[in-house]
């Protein structure tokens, strides 16, 4: 029981790091980015190439994955995404699905279609035994990293100048613009940072979630669930939603394996029907 | 009848008139049975895709509901028709086809209440969620559906007990084309009716539509159900013509490709899905013969390009071409141009 809780938390934390960039994109620009998973995949493959082929240590591989994906995200944001922000949702969906298809096929072409594994160092394998519960060292690391990141994000958002600008822009873009906040720049930075986080999540999660070219399609729905269930107005909403989702998914697969992910989808639809704004959203944004 | 009602009636009647171009389209479509006998297999797929795209156009182009879950109806009806044929419950293909459509329509009716609320994103998520749930169910109950191996051992009885399906797809093509034509006629009747007019009002502005006493939710439920019926017919056709059904029918790719088909052809007029299906199918065939493994890349590339260039501009070309053709046709036939009948329906 506690093991499930533990594994579920690790899984949920991972989902949060993967999805929080998406939640900001959606909340800030009202932009539906279905291609978010592609950035996570980019981070994962980047680490695979660095660690397995070039012999870079795993510790260094993770931050590098973050940097590379953030750069990639920033580049794409400036060149492609800016043109699509003001478009109707249908265009955004088409555009980002197109990107997903391209990334899937391109990865398949470059890296092959087989599942990739990252060689994690010896010291991270095996598990601790605490009060009779087996805790995988790697999962513990994930919880630690993601926990620190979440705290850092929360601090940045609530304490720094950039954070308050971002929150202002999310709350009301037009007024924020009127107050002299460069919403475009704030958004570009946030997009790059969110992509970087996704890349880091992809690198960390390759061990747990698996990594193959269909990654963006397979996990797209999970990211979207986190965002829609958690709401886009704060960071705690998606966080709680991803922990719930992680624990729920692991528990569901453990207790009722025949139903599989069915439970998750059912819960999502139920939540969306009852609270279209998200489970943890403030009562009304606009 | 009041003056307004009479005006509306005459307006609708004028719009619903068959233009020469439409007649030419269908004459050509049926002529293809004899013109391209070697191409019947791909033409069959095209006809099915066209019907599927038509079903999406009804809700996207006319009612403004974005859906990524149209594959749910397609797949459900596909499996249903496969199963009834496999276990000999309904042997007559035509009857099985209609029943499959009705089953899909039932699912559409039940799930339509889920898409009434919320924003575009919520609708996307809910429709996507429904189709993913169905996919999960089909995967789990593999004893019934065959799971990842697909539903095998389906034998489809001859149509009306006379026309057996052959491996060259001749029967299948004629069958699909006739079904497509009938469904098209029904859809055409729907969109040129006062009901169709009220749908476009809802799409334009749901709040105002409600203010002029259009029952918005009721209309959306109705069109969603009809659309599910058509999607189901398309799914059942695929199973019947290939005698096979796999989990692929429920995949996200299918719904996403469908959006592409509709975007190529243009939304909001009935021929959009049909023309889009023809272009898409032959383009896919061509790309797949160039790069068999990576054709998905080019499909994605197309999507990105279409959005960046702008959908309006592309449908603008369509329109210009159509206007030109209509004028050409009417000059050849020595008639006055019937532009209003062929112009796209803008909400």
Q: Which of A4, A2, A10, A58 is nearest to A209 (CA)?
A: A10
**Does B337 have pLDDT greater than 80?**
no
What ipTM score was computed for the predicted complex, to two decimals?
A: 0.75
Residue B321 forms part of a structural domain? no
Residue B113 forms part of a structural domain? yes
> To probe the interface with B, which of A105, A216, A226, A285 has the most B CB atoms within 10 Å?
A105
Q: Which of A214, A161, A147 is nearest to A189 (CA)?
A: A161
Asked if B20 and B329 touch (Cβ cutoff 8 Å), the reply is yes
List residues in chain B touching A: CB distance below 8 A: 60, 66, 68, 114, 117-122, 124-126, 128-130, 132-133, 136-137, 139-140, 252-253, 256, 259-260, 263, 293-297, 299-308, 311
How big is the A-B interface in CB pairs under 8 Å?
A: 126
Chain A: give the shortest CA distance to residue B225, in Å.
Answer: 19
Residues of B in contact with A97 (CB under 8 A): 256, 259, 300, 303
Residues of A in contact with B140 (CB under 8 A): 258-260, 262
The pLDDT of residue B347: 37
CATH for B217: 1.10.3470
Residue B306 forms part of a structural domain? no
pTM of the full structure: 0.81
Residue B257 forms part of a structural domain? yes
Q: pLDDT digits over A117-176, tens only?
A: 777 777 777 666 666 666 777 888 888 888 888 888 888 888 888 888 888 887 777 888
Q: What is the mean pLDDT of chain B?
A: 83
DSSP β-bridge partners for residue A129? A134
Can you spell out the DSSP letters for chain A? -HHHHHHHHHHHHHHHHHHHHHHHHHHHH----TTHHHHHHHHHHHHIIIIIIS---HHHHHHHHHHHHHHHHHHHHHHTGGGTTTS-HHHHHHHHHHHHHHHHHHHHHHH-SS-------GGGSSEEEETTEEEEHHHHHHHHHHHHHHHHHHHHHHHSHHHHHHHHHHH-HHHHHHTT--HHHHHHHHHHHHHHHHHHHHHHHHHHH---TTHHHHHHHHHHHHHHHH-SS-SHHHHHHHHHHHHHHHHHHHH-TTTTTHHHHHHHHHHHHH-TT-TT--S---
Q: Which of B102, B331, B79, B91 is nearest to B225 (CA)?
A: B102
**Does A286 have pLDDT greater than 90?**
no
Residue B104 forms part of a structural domain? yes
Residue A285: which pLDDT band, with cuts at 50, 70 and 90? very low
B217 DSSP assignment: H
Which residues of chain A from 76 to 115 reach within 8 Å of chain B, CB to CB? 80, 83-84, 87, 89-95, 97-106, 108-109
Residue B222: which pLDDT band, with cuts at 50, 70 and 90? very high
Residue B340 forms part of a structural domain? no
**Does B73 have pLDDT greater than 90?**
yes
% chain B with pLDDT above 70: 91
Top-confidence residue, B54 or B322: B54
Top-confidence residue, A54 or B26: B26
Name the residue among A97, A228, A265 with its Cβ closest to that of B303. Answer: A97
Which residues of chain A from 124 to 153 reach within 8 Å of chain B, CB to CB? none
Top-confidence residue, B74 or A27: B74
Range of the domain at B79: 25-290
Q: Which of A74, A63, A87 is nearest to A39 (CA)?
A: A74
DSSP β-bridge partners for residue A133? A130
Rg of chain B over all Cα atoms, to the nearest angstrom: 20
User: What gap in Å lies between CA B201 and CA B206, rounded to an integer?
Assistant: 7
Tell me the backbone φ, ψ of residue A200, rounded to 5 degrees.
-60, -45
A130-134, long-range: CB < 8 A, 24+ apart: A133/A2, A133/A3, A133/A6, A134/A3
Q: pLDDT digits over B302-329, tens only?
A: 888 888 887 666 666 667 777 777 777 6
| Interval A65-89 mean pLDDT | 86
Q: Which of A118, A139, A120, A125 is nearest to A45 (CA)?
A: A118
**Does B259 have pLDDT greater than 60?**
yes
Residues of B in contact with A104 (CB under 8 A): 296-297, 300
- How many folded domains does chain B comprise? 1
Residue B53: which pLDDT band, with cuts at 50, 70 and 90? very high
Name the residue among A94, A224, A266 with its Cβ closest to that of B125. Answer: A224
Q: Do A84 and B114 touch (CB under 8 A)?
A: no
The pLDDT of residue A16: 87
Q: Do B124 and A80 touch (CB under 8 A)?
A: no
| Chain B CA closest to residue A31 | B121
Residue B191 forms part of a structural domain? yes
């Amino acid at each position: 029981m506690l093991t499930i809780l533990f594994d579920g938390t690790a899984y949920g934390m991972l989902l949060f790091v993967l999805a929080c960039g998406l939640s900001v994109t959606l909340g800030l620009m009202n932009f539906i980015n279905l291609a978010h998973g592609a950035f996570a995949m980019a981070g994962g493959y980047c680490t695979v190439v660095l660690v397995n082929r070039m012999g870079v240590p795993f510790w260094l591989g993770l931050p590098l994955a973050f940097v590379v994906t953030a750069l990639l995200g920033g580049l794409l944001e400036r060149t492609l995404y800016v043109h699509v922000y003001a478009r109707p949702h249908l265009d955004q969906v088409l555009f980002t699905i197109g990107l997903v298809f391209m990334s899937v096929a391109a990865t398949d072409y470059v890296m092959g279609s087989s599942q990739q594994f990252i060689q994690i160092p010896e010291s991270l394998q095996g598990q601790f035994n605490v009060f009779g519960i087996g805790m995988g060292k790697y999962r513990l690391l994930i919880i630690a990293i993601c926990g620190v990141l979440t705290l850092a994000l929360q601090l940045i958002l609530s304490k720094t100048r950039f954070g308050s600008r971002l929150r202002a822009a999310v709350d009301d873009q037009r007024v924020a613009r009127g107050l002299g906040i460069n919403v475009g720049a704030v958004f570009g930075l946030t997009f790059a940072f969110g992509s970087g986080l996704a890349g880091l999540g992809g690198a960390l999660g390759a061990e747990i979630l698996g990594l193959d070219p269909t990654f963006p399609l397979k996990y797209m729905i999970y990211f979207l669930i986190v965002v829609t269930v958690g709401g886009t107005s704060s960071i705690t909403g998606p966080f709680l939603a991803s922990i719930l989702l992680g624990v729920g998914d692991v528990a569901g697969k453990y207790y009722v394996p025949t139903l599989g992910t069915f439970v998750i989808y059912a819960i999502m639809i139920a939540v969306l029907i009852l609270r279209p704004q998200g489970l943890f959203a403030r009562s009304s944004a606009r | 009848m009041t003056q307004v009602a009479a005006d509306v009636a005459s307006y609708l009647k004028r719009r619903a008139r068959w233009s020469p171009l439409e007649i030419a389209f269908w004459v050509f479509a049926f002529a293809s049975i004899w013109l391209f006998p070697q191409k019947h297999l791909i033409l069959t797929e095209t006809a099915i895709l066209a019907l599927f795209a038509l079903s999406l156009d009804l809700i996207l182009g006319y009612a403004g509901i974005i859906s990524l879950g149209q594959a749910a109806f397609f797949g459900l009806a596909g499996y249903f028709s496969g199963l009834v044929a496999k276990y000999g419950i309904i042997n007559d293909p035509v009857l099985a086809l209609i029943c499959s459509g009705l089953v899909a329509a039932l699912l559409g009716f039940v799930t339509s209440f889920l898409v009434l609320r919320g924003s575009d994103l919520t609708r996307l998520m809910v429709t996507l969620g429904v189709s993913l749930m169905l996919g999960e169910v089909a995967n789990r109950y593999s004893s019934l559906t065959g799971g990842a191996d697909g539903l095998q051992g389906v034998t489809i009885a001859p149509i009306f007990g006379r026309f057996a399906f052959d491996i060259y797809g001749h029967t299948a093509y004629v069958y699909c084309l006739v079904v497509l034509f009938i469904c098209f006629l029904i859809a055409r009747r729907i969109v040129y009716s006062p009901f169709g007019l009220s749908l476009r009002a809802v799409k334009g502005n749901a709040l105002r539509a409600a203010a002029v006493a259009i029952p918005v939710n009721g209309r959306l439920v109705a069109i969603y159900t009809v659309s599910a019926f058509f999607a189901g017919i398309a799914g059942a056709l695929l199973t019947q013509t290939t005698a096979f059904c796999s989990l692929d029918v429920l995949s996200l790719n299918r719904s996403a490709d469908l959006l592409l088909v509709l975007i190529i052809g243009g939304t909001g007029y009935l021929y959009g899905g049909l023309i889009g299906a023809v272009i898409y199918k032959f383009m896919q065939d061509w790309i797949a013969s160039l790069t068999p493994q990576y054709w998905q890349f080019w499909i994605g590339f197309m999507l990105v390009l279409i959005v960046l260039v702008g959908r309006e501009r592309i449908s603008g070309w369509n329109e210009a071409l159509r206007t030109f053709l209509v004028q050409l046709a009417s000059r050849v036939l020595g008639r006055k141009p019937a532009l209003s009948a062929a112009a796209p329906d803008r909400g």
